[in-house]
Amino acid sequence: MMQRKIFITGATDGIGFETAKMLVTQGHYLLLHGRNKAKLESVKTDLLAISDTAQLETYLADLSVISEVKSLAKAVQEKHKQVDVLINNAGVYSVSEKCSADGLDIRFVVNSIAPLMLTRALLPQLGNNGRVLNLSSAAQASINLDALRGATQLNDCEAYAQSKLALTIWSRVLGLKYKTAGPVIIAINPKSLLATKMVKEAFAITGSDVSQGAEVLCQVALCDEFSNASGLYYDNDKEKFTDPHPDALDEQTSQAVMNTFEKIIADL
């Protein structure tokens, strides 16, 4: 298999780390993002123990802080003319402080706004043959645009489900836009109730083997069968492409969400 250059956000634990472990054994060049320096170094050590010839880079950034999202994108842009795959894996469910320094809901920033900004910034690197994998969820709920703007607060469950639909909507809109010229953009439910920190926070259960989520990410990132799937939604609970939440298929609703994204990003 040809070596790919793969950028994974939220690579220090859960599905992100498990995906990195699988990809490093296949000899791919990994760009690993995390928000904790010690955990990033530990992950690098663990991956080098798996493969002492592993090619790794680490990037430190807090994706709830827009200036750090911009700096992260710039750091990757400056070092790499080409990135084959961007896996927008980083996500949050429960946060102690819900409002970001930019006046936005941190759950929306990390789960949907930061991935959109990173994807757009790296379009030149991704080119026409790249892929963008956006980690969505079976938990998707209609979006309160005031909450997306940071004008009203939601509880953790509401914010998580709405931010995942927001991610799914822009994945579809941009995926269809770039279907003939641009990277493949796919939203993925990696599988419900995996053994991640978020599942433990949300449901107080251990969850099932996280490698199930990592395996599907590796497949979507690398396999030819996904090369013409831009704009589609893959549900690993059903192990096939399926329809996302109805709002993601509604042109008027999707446009309202995209307009809100544009206004937010323009003001940042």
pLDDT digit string (tens) for 102-150?
Answer: 999 999 999 999 999 999 999 999 999 999 999 999 999 999 999 999 9
Describe the crossing of helices 66-79 and 114-121 by its angle, rounded to 10 degrees: 30
Q: How confident is the model at residue 2 (pLDDT cuts 50, 70, 90)?
A: confident
CA 8, 10, 11: angle at the middle one, nearest 5? 65
What are the structure tokens assigned to 198, written together?
A: 């978020």
pLDDT at 207: 47
For 56-87, write each residue's pLDDT tens digit.
Answer: 999 999 999 999 999 999 999 999 999 999 99
Q: What pLDDT is attached to residue 190? A: 92
Mean pLDDT computed over every residue of the chain: 93
Write down the residue that tokens 């010690």 correspond to.
38
Predicted local confidence at residue 210, as pLDDT: 73
- Model confidence at 260, pLDDT cuts 50, 70, 90, reads very high
The predicted pLDDT at position 192 comes to 63
Could you tell me the end-to-end alpha-carbon distance of the chain, in angstroms, rounded to an integer?
A: 41
Q: What is the pLDDT of residue 100?
A: 94
Max intra-chain CA distance, the chain: 51
pLDDT number for residue 74: 98
Rounded Cα distance between 161 and 141, Å, is 5
Residue 188 has pLDDT above 70, yes or no: yes
Percent above pLDDT 70 for the chain:
93
Average pLDDT over residues 84-110: 95
Instruction: Check whether 204 has a pLDDT greater than 70.
Output: no
Lowest mean pLDDT among 90-104, 127-141, 187-201: 187-201
CA distance 133 to 2: 19
- Strand-pair partners of 57: 31
Cα gap 229→234, rounded to integer Å: 9
| Residues in contact with 224: Cβ distance below 8 Å, sequence separation at least 6, in sequence order | none
Q: Among 41-50, 140-149, 158-167, 205-214, which stretch is predicted with the lowest mean pLDDT?
A: 205-214
Share of the chain above pLDDT 90, in %: 87
Catalogue all structural domains in the chain, each as residue range(s) with its CATH number: 5-267 (3.40.50.720)
- 143/72 Cα distance (integer angstroms): 27
Write out pLDDT tens, residues 13-37.
999 999 999 999 999 999 999 999 9
pLDDT tens readout for residues 7-19: 999 999 999 999 9
Residue 213 binned pLDDT confidence (cut-offs 50, 70, 90):
confident
pTM: 0.95
Q: What is each CA distance from 182 to 82, 107, 125, 140, 175, in whole angstroms?
A: 13, 28, 10, 26, 8
